[in-house]
Structure 1
Amino acid sequence: MDNPTEPLLKQAGPLPAYRSLIDKGDLAPDPAQALAAERLQDLWERLRGYDPRPAAGQAHGGLLARLLHRRHAEEYMPIGLYLVGEVGRGKSMLMDLFFDVADVPRKQRIHFHRFMQTVHSRLHAWKRANPNGTDPIPPLADTIAAEAALLCFDEFQVNDIADAMILGRLFQALFDRGVVVVATSNIAPDDLFKGQPGRDAFLPFIALIKQRVDVLLMTGGRDYRRERMRGLRTWHVPADDRSRHELDEAFAKLTGGAAVKPVVLTVMGRELIVPQAADGVARFNFDRLCNTALGAGDYLAIATNFRTLVLDGIPRLSPDNYDQARRFIVLVDTLYDQHVKLVASADATPDQLYQRGENARMFERTASRLDEMQSQDWLGLAHPA
């Protein structure tokens, strides 16, 4: 797919960019997507040149300055947008079109899970540097607002009690500073953190979100992500140049031509670099994923952040390379539990990958799972994130 946001389209907004993709045949007409594109176009127009930074001498530090700035933000700050719908409805694609053309000097597009990892890391660093118990939320909000007046969150969801307990105060502080939020989610605001212990304390955050963003439900339509998987060959043997080329084509199809770039995940305070990623699809080679010091936490971070993994060059496994085999077993179990789709090249079919020696029997379950993960029923399962 050509870059949909060419210079002239960037000046016109996300709706013309979306219509251009339809005209070129890259997208099929979809009423739910068209409505979302129109709403994003309206927000794009209201955000042109938007910069809520206070004037000189009106820093956030003083109480009066904070109250004045909050009143100013509430009066002039554009209402954001929360796109909610099932997986594969085109929510992320539309938000990316909007983000790319948004005329906002400071903006950030980030997966919500990654954003919260950064928040916790900064809170931890603040508390370590300020052991006297100073409230870390205002300075954290200052930092985030200085980095971005527009925050675009992909896959907004709340599953962690630690996240739930700080979101209300943090987002109130961000909104006080004029930050505008656009988000995509599979979960409506009223259903966030539903059924979890401590949800009553989370309800003010839900009310705040509904006050500061418009919620648009994208119903019906086609599941474009699942359609990309339909008929796709997922296991390529052997792992040679031809298979590499076929994985290149599969990766391009699965990402819908989106811009590919490295992504950094934070796992237990460490950085895990995903070398190639776009539109919920990650790509690794086997050595980088299973021949380095990675473990279950790393694989879970990948599985929760990406719905599909493209994996190059799985070798035959045996007691001679058991550490790699052990990591691969953990990886497959994690992908299986999270319904992550796997497209791979390998030196053998799953039942022939680990044939001899100690632990060969243990690999039988992994081979069985790899076979199941190639079935059309499996490919139709929704990713829980």
Structure 2
Amino acid sequence: MTDTPLSCLTTGHRYLSVSIKQHYQTSIAQLGYQQDPEQERAIDHFQRLYTELLALPSKRGVLNRLLNRSQPSCRGLYLWGGPGRGKTYLMDLFYHHLPTQKKQRLHFHQFMRNVHAELATIGHQKAPLTIIGKRVAQQTQVLCLDEFYVADIGDAMLLAGLLKALFDNNVVLITTSNTTPDNLYRNGLQRDRFLPAIALIKRHTELISMEQGDDFRLQRPPQNNHKRYQLCDEAAAFELMAAQYLRLTGQVFEKKSLSLQINGRPIPLLAEAHDIAWFEFDSLCMTARSSSDYLEIASRYRCVLITHIPLLDEALDNAAIRFIHLIDALYDGKVELITTAAAPPQKLYCGLHHSSSFKRTASRLCEMEHYHYSDN
């Protein structure tokens, strides 16, 4: 497929013969999912956006560029609600249905990682976020970001200027989140500087609530004989994980002093074989780590083993937020995860500050129990 704007495609294109809603109905039938009223309402919004994108003018006139006239754009979508409601599934369905390559789909943390990398290349030029907005717009007409979740003050301080640059260049944003825009970065440092980002999101996207209903991830029992999420004490954890390591690699575990270099910092690991790595929880989450570290791990390995996940109370809030970011990166990277833990996913976090965010993590841990997860 060529790099063709959506508006240049004719009704004879193979994607245009099937509506988004028809595509959704066919997909859930094939996957054996139940129809959900909130999902069907959301699909109607996706269909509206899809139709509007196809109707956009295909060319930007020279006169308009000379006069700096803004071009017509579409209002994007902001899907919010609890975990396991199908937000990511619907966004991905829409993304794959778009008949263009001028689109990009990323996890929010990966997108921000890319932005920081771009900033490093720009140096001391004026208006660096404006430059990045133009660069993104050259390649991307529709930007899909999964899990819009802001915890890092560095990201928070950039987002108002970044979003303005994207919207000024007519990039259409579709994103998912577990919270409304008004609750993003709540209680964060210097939040007043983040408020313009919230205003931009509300102005340029249509807010779609998907908060009612069950978490579909919790409705499916594990479909394998090898449990990926094992409840046990520390004494039993090593024996269980050593057996998993042998099954996956064909190698008997031998204790060695190993470390993984990521972003100039060592991360200790217990074992590594090809694209399989075995870590202890403390190495990944009890010391200073960033989302960038976890994204790098997710890109290097197809299977990650983690032992000794403790109960996460308020004293371990920093470790809990790192664990949230770690699971987001592994989940989005379709990495197979095998763990031993002190409690079931829904009871693993017993603090207060991150209870809402950790619901998503617990839901994803339950889904990652399924062997078909890494194949989808």
Map 1:265-304 onto structure 2 (within 5 A): 268=263, 285-286=276-277, 297=289, 301-302=293-294
* Structure 2 Cα separation of the partners of residues 241 and 9 of structure 1: 46
| SS of corresponding position for 1:48 | helix
- Show the counterpart of 1:239: 244
* Structure 2 Cα separation of the partners of residues 240 and 139 of structure 1: 47
- Show the counterpart of 1:253: none
Deviation at 1:36, TM superposition (A): 1.1
- Show the counterpart of 2:78: 82
For normalisation by structure 1, the TM-score amounts to: 0.62
Which residue of 145, 151, 160 corresponds with 1:159?
Answer: 151
Give RMSD over aligned pairs.
4.3
- Show the counterpart of 1:122: 118
Amino acid in structure 2 at the alignment position of 1:190: D
* Structure 2 Cα separation of the partners of residues 9 and 47 of structure 1: 14
- Show the counterpart of 2:98: 102
* Structure 1 Cα separation of the partners of residues 303 and 193 of structure 2: 42
- Show the counterpart of 2:51: 45
Deviation at 1:301, TM superposition (A): 4.0
**Gaps in structure 1 of 5+ consecutive residues:** 1-6, 245-265, 273-282, 315-326, 346-369
Amino acid in structure 1 at the alignment position of 2:110: R
Deviation string 1:255-278 (CA, Å, 9 cap, x unpaired) is xxxxxxxxxxx96489x9xxxxxx
Amino acid in structure 1 at the alignment position of 2:277: F
Map 1:188-337 onto structure 2 (within 5 A): 188-228=180-220, 233-234=227-228, 235=230, 238-239=243-244, 268=263, 285-286=276-277, 297=289, 301-302=293-294, 311=303
Percentage of matched positions with identical amino acids: 29
1:183 and 2:170 aligned: no
Amino acid in structure 2 at the alignment position of 1:29: Q
Cα distance change on mapping 1:240 and 1:167 into 2, 3 Å: closer
- Show the counterpart of 1:263: none
Deviation at 1:22, TM superposition (A): 3.1
Cα distance change on mapping 1:105 and 1:182 into 2, 3 Å: same
Amino acid in structure 2 at the alignment position of 1:20: T
Equivalent residues of 1:52, 1:149 under 8 A apart:
no
* Structure 2 Cα separation of the partners of residues 119 and 338 of structure 1: 23
Equivalent residues of 1:113, 1:305 under 8 A apart:
no
For normalisation by structure 2, the TM-score amounts to: 0.64
Amino acid in structure 2 at the alignment position of 1:19: Q
* Structure 1 Cα separation of the partners of residues 205 and 297 of structure 2: 24
Equivalent residues of 2:311, 2:343 under 8 A apart:
no
Equivalent residues of 1:49, 1:104 under 8 A apart:
no
- Show the counterpart of 1:382: 359
Cα distance change on mapping 1:229 and 1:200 into 2, 3 Å: farther
Paired residues, what number? 291
Equivalent residues of 1:84, 1:215 under 8 A apart:
yes
- Show the counterpart of 2:271: none
**Gaps in structure 2 of 5+ consecutive residues:** 1-12, 231-239, 250-260, 268-273, 313-318, 350-354, 365-376
Cα distance change on mapping 1:14 and 1:21 into 2, 3 Å: same
* Structure 2 Cα separation of the partners of residues 18 and 145 of structure 1: 28
Cα distance change on mapping 1:228 and 1:378 into 2, 3 Å: farther
Deviation at 1:286, TM superposition (A): 2.3
Deviation at 1:186, TM superposition (A): 0.7
Amino acid in structure 1 at the alignment position of 2:131: P
1:17 and 2:23 aligned: yes
Cα distance change on mapping 1:38 and 1:375 into 2, 3 Å: closer
1:344 and 2:338 aligned: yes
- Show the counterpart of 2:132: 140
Deviation string 1:119-155 (CA, Å, 9 cap, x unpaired) is 111112111xxx4x52212221111101101000000
